[in-house]
Structure 1
Amino acid sequence: MSSTSQPGQSQTFGIPWPDLNDGLSYTDVVRLSESKLTLIGFYTSKYKSSAPLQGWLQRIRNGQITIDGRVVTDPDTVLRVGSELVYQRLPWKEPDAPHMLEVLYDDDDMIALNKPSGLQVLPGGIFQQRTVLTQLQWQASKQSTCFARQELHPVPVHRLGRGTSGILLCAKTKLAKTRLATYFADGTAHIGGSRDINKEHGTSGKISKLYRALVSGILDNDKVVIKQPIGTVKYPGVAKGLYVASPSGKPALSIVDVLEKHIQGQHTLVEVQIQSGRPHQIRIHLAFIRHPLLGDPLYAVGGQPKSFDCEVLDDSFAQDGGYKRPTKPIPGDCGYYLHAHQLVLSHPTTNEVIKIIAPLPSILWTQEESKNINLE
């Protein structure tokens, strides 16, 4: 038995973002190996990627750090084992981001959203409040006060890049979260195994994802299977490293089908199916085959960043004491055209096959689709 999500009555939700977020608190308990360090020594050694020396000194002297609940402004204060340190990051204005979300599918176990380009999924970096997760939490809070029902805590079970639009699947219960997360993990884990490509290309697994994208240049072949591994390299502004095409990376599989070739504009409209889910996989794989996403500010031919030159971090710092934003592009930068268009999965509790479709942005329509829509 199967069903398809029906756009019919399009439901949307979203609360406009406050001008400033609520700030953040970071808590640490001093370990034995850290005792007898000074306060400034602790933060500059443990969180050196957060701010330079002068930035941490500013934060301490501003009274943003407490030890066991007491504000301490002397950076040379010696720490004792077991003490609780709290750094309070002051509220700041996050960059502009959309706040409205369209509901594509909704039941007691899960909800599928049509995420707009420009909205981050989970908190990270300068986006701590302006995320999908925040809007989900606000919506759940409204519903739990309006209805006599068990309070739900919907959370995304996978990620889409900030510049990527389309289907984002979220779980409402712990059971659904566990099972949906397993679907995504299983699809990735099987890549590189002994199964043949035809089986991997099929939808025999628990989940299948189909994307629409606009790439630079004209693909020679109408179908391309990409099995380039993906790993990380050091990159300014990305603490955990930037994902790139790497022979020593983890296995990844993308199947690319050409939909239309635009010779005059020198770009190609493609459909991409993935079952593995490495970060930025489609962007990296298409760049690896010499056809990066049109408008991608970060990835160039070969699946590498456009610039590998490492920036030297100096003692200059932003208003909040942290490092200034890198001048080079970072993964969250937008400008490319990639849309999670279709998702087919087994329902986490009923096993019913569910097909969810996110309407395409007009720039990703085929000529035939454009004609049909104009006729309606």
Structure 2
Amino acid sequence: MVRHVVRHTLVIPPELAGRRLDQALASLLPEHSRSRIKGWIEAECVRVDGAAARPRQRLAGGERVEVDAAVEAEEAPAPEPMPLRIVHEEAHLIVLDKPAGLVVHPAAGNPRGTLVNALLAHDPALAVLPRAGLVHRLDKDTSGLLLVARTPEAHTRLVRAMQARAIARTYLAVVNGVVTAGGTVDAPVGRHPVDRKRMAVVPAGRPAVTHYRVRRRFRAHTLLEVRLETGRTHQIRVHMAHLRHPVTGDPVYGGRPRLPRDPLPALAERVRAMRRQALHAARLAFAHPLTGTPLAFASPLPADLAALLEALEEDLAAHG
């Protein structure tokens, strides 16, 4: 089995003083499991200040740790050349604008034709990074911005920034019903107790926090600006449905299409034609993982969402 070895060079921060080496590395390399890290230590692939490490070794803080992380090359999906909407590209990261309909990660039902396949064709070196460097994900039918790391150091730092909620992700969503005011949903999200293909607000779920504010009210819909504090599967869609304001067009959580009384024909047509959730990852802001420079990117509304909002505006104007 062919392996790539990626070297991580870390300095133990003061806040991890007194921790065991395996615990500290699990915190500093969150993209790797603790069992994998332990395996690297036992295989003498980890050195502390130049000396071979022990799994339960206690740290004082300030040590220089080198980790030769072995990654199985055959685990990487096959590269497939596909067009990519690249918003920003440099040595350490890429920012992409994903169209609706594109699956991000290969899975049993989608082994090929995914964003990961396209990324590996664009930059084969991404094969040594977890999930081809993707720092977060979007559902297949959610459009908008995605962040990709290109180096092990950038990936580790961006994953840590995501976990520390230091990467700001802002979405635009058209939801059913008239939302009276903005607010926050703080409700755990986990697998639906009956339908395991869906997510739901459940007491045993993982903590999930979504902030939202009203951008524009229509007769039977609302345009929301949504900011994620956590990143659970289907989080915005589940939380909006929990508020009884599901995302318009959502085939899983949205229910029947919502229309105001006596809608303009153009609005009725647009709402019925919206076969995917009206959700777009519009803005992304974070500090550069190596230099700390603030970076911010924006994505314009895709054509289907722009057309839906235009029809909502025309219907609102026509009914005074």
Equivalent residues in 2 for 1:287-326 (5 A)?
A: 287-300=241-254
Q: Which runs of 5+ in 2 are unaligned?
A: 1-80, 256-274, 314-320
CA RMSD of aligned residues (A): 2.6
CA separation of 1:151 and 1:337: change in aligned 2, threshold 3 A: closer
| Partner in structure 1 of residue 235 of structure 2 | 281
Aligned to 2:297: 356
Q: Which amino acid aligns with 1:128?
A: P
Residue equivalent to 2:154: 176
The yes-or-no answer on 1:258 pairing with 2:199 is no
Which AA in structure 1 matches 2:187? Q
Residue from 132, 137, 140 that aligns with 1:162? 140
TM-score, normalization by structure 1? 0.52
CA–CA separation in structure 1 for the residues paired with 2:234 and 2:227: 14
Residue 271 in 1 paired to residue 212 in 2?
no
Task: State the distance in 1 between where 2:92 and 2:128 align.
Answer: 9
Deviation per CA, 1:191-218: give whole Å up to 9, x if none: xxxxxxxxxxxxxxx2111001111111
Find the residue that maps to 1:137 and give its secondary structure.
helix
TM-aligned CA deviation for residue 159 of structure 1: 0.8
| Amino acid corresponding to residue 107 of structure 1 in structure 2 | E
Q: Which residue of structure 1 aligns with residue 279 of structure 2? A: 338
More displaced stretch, 128-137 vs 242-251: 242-251
Q: Any stretches of 5+ residues in structure 1 without a counterpart?
A: 1-97, 145-149, 188-205, 302-333, 371-376
Distance 1:224 1:151, change over 3 A: closer
**Does structure 2 retain, via aligned residues, the 8 Å contact 1:104–1:114?**
yes
Letter paired with 2:99: P
After superposition, residues 2-21 of structure 1 pair within 5 angstroms as none
Q: Secondary structure at the match of 2:192?
A: strand
Instruction: Please tell me whether the aligned partners of residues 120 and 127 of structure 2 are also in contact (alpha carbons under 8 angstroms).
Output: no
CA drift at 1:346 = 0.8
1:125 Cα deviation (Å)?
Answer: 2.4
User: If each structure's helix is expressed as a fraction of its own residues, which one has the higher value?
Assistant: 2
Aligned with residue 180 of structure 2, among 191, 197, 220: 220
CA positional deviation for 1:251: 1.6
Contact 1:115 1:167 in 2 (8 A): yes
Aligned length: 209
Please, which of 97, 100, 103 is the counterpart of residue 117 of structure 1? 100
| Residue type at the aligned position of 1:210 | T
How many angstroms apart in 1 are the aligned matches of 2:234 and 2:99?
Answer: 17
Mapping for residues 88-127 of structure 1, pairs under 5 Å: 99-127=82-110
Identical columns (%): 34
The structure with higher relative contact order (CA 8 Å, sep 6+) is 1
The 1:151–1:339 alpha-carbon spacing in structure 2 relative to 1, beyond 3 Å, is closer
Cα distance in 1, alignment partners of residues 188 and 223 from structure 2? 24
Distance, in Å, in 1 between the alignment partners of 2:84 and 2:155 is 20
CA deviation vs aligned residue, 1:338-370 (integer Å, no higher than 9, x gap): 110001101110111100111212454567xx9
Q: Distance in 1 between matches of 2:297 and 2:289?
A: 14
For the residue of structure 1 that corresponds to 2:190, the secondary structure is strand
